[in-house]
Amino acid sequence: MSANPTGTPSWILPSYQLHMLRAGMRLLAAIHPGYAATLMDRIWFAAPRRKPRETEQALLNQGSCISFDVHGQRVAAWAWGEDGPTVVLLHGWGGHAGQMSAFVAPLRQAGFRVVAFDAPAHGASANSRHGGRRVTFFEFADALQTVTARESAIVGIIAHSGGCTAVSLALRAGWKAPANIVFVAPFAQPQHAVADFARMLGTTEEVIASFVRKVEHWLGHPWSFLDITTLEDSHKWRRLLVIHDEQDYDVPLAQANALADSWPSAQLVVTRGLGHRRVLRDASVVDRVLAFLCDEPTANAARHTAHTRADLDAAYEALVAYGSGMHAQR
């Protein structure tokens, strides 16, 4: 599903190539709408594969590299820390584990074990079962369940953008998610992005309708199944922190508002000027996430994993020291 459904289309092609694609799409829509819908499908499900920045790769190199088999394909993962209550990091569409790196050191200083992975067809992982760049959030969700199956003390997950969609799909599939969930810039309502995506490609209503039908037939679910707001109430007892920027041009703030309104325990934090990805590196955002994960309900969950009061005190002191250091740097 598109990583940038409502923003500029530069993630697909340079502008001159995009103009050619639009012209071709208009012609194909007029001659054979079914073929145009197939082309739209190919573009929608083609994930860009980006490499980590040098600093992000250095952080990944500090973790213990782990490999998992998902649908017969290798998924790369990393872990920091040998034991302790665990927090899982999940990137979004077209991303990689390195994009979540700002959370690793603070989480470790607060006493958490941290696990992150590259989704199929992303980062250092192999292609998905569909081959090439083709992948869906269902493969994200399956990888999440596989990677976390070996973890015995997961107390939280931090997901970004389409990673949030994948968490909801894993929940629908029976994944026992932790009690504390953080969604950053959640792609909460993928079906709302279809019209904007089609408009970007310059196609017609007939092609859009055909595309929607083809995808629903292929996935075996209606588009509403990917809508996090329609998640069953039985999953919404979990604590949820939603962070979204007003100037996110990839996923509109309205999706975060709808999600928070649908989730009884949700807390919504709205930032300004951070966009869709820089929000992951902002110190105040990291502070807010750490505070959420280290408050009393999470501390109780950590205590139930057989960690002592001394461990919790040490984690709290580390968090306070981290927070003081971050404020001193601003």
**DSSP assignment string, 78-145:** EEESSSSSEEEEE--TT--GGGGGGGHHHHHHTT-EEEEEPPTTSTTSPP-TT-TTB--HHHHHHHHH
Rounded to 5 degrees, φ, ψ at 13 are: -150, 155
Report the 10 Å Cβ neighbour count for 24: 14
**pLDDT at residue 9, as a whole number:** 33
**pLDDT at residue 13, as a whole number:** 52
Contacts of 254 (CB under 8 A, 6+ apart): none
**pLDDT at residue 296, as a whole number:** 56
**pLDDT at residue 33, as a whole number:** 79
Q: How far apart are CA 15 and CA 20, in angstroms?
A: 9
Q: pTM of this prediction?
A: 0.84
Whether 285 contacts 279, CB under 8 Å? yes
| Six-digit token string for 53 | 């920045």
The pLDDT profile of the chain, 330 residues, written as one tens digit per residue, is: 444 433 333 344 556 666 777 777 777 677 787 888 888 898 899 999 999 999 999 999 999 999 999 999 999 999 999 888 999 999 999 999 999 999 999 999 999 999 999 999 999 999 999 999 999 999 999 999 999 999 989 999 999 999 999 999 999 999 999 999 999 999 999 999 998 888 888 888 898 999 999 999 999 999 999 999 999 999 999 999 999 999 999 999 999 999 999 999 899 999 999 999 999 999 999 999 999 999 855 544 443 333 334 444 444 444 444 344 433 333
Q: How far apart are CA 79 and CA 66, in angstroms?
A: 8
Task: Give the distance, in angstroms, between the CA of residue 78 and the centroid of all CA atoms in the same chain.
Answer: 16
**pLDDT at residue 45, as a whole number:** 92
**pLDDT at residue 75, as a whole number:** 97
Contacts of 212 (CB under 8 A, 6+ apart): 194, 223
Closest among 282, 250, 281, 243 to 56, alpha carbons compared = 281
Identify the three-state secondary structure at position 182: strand
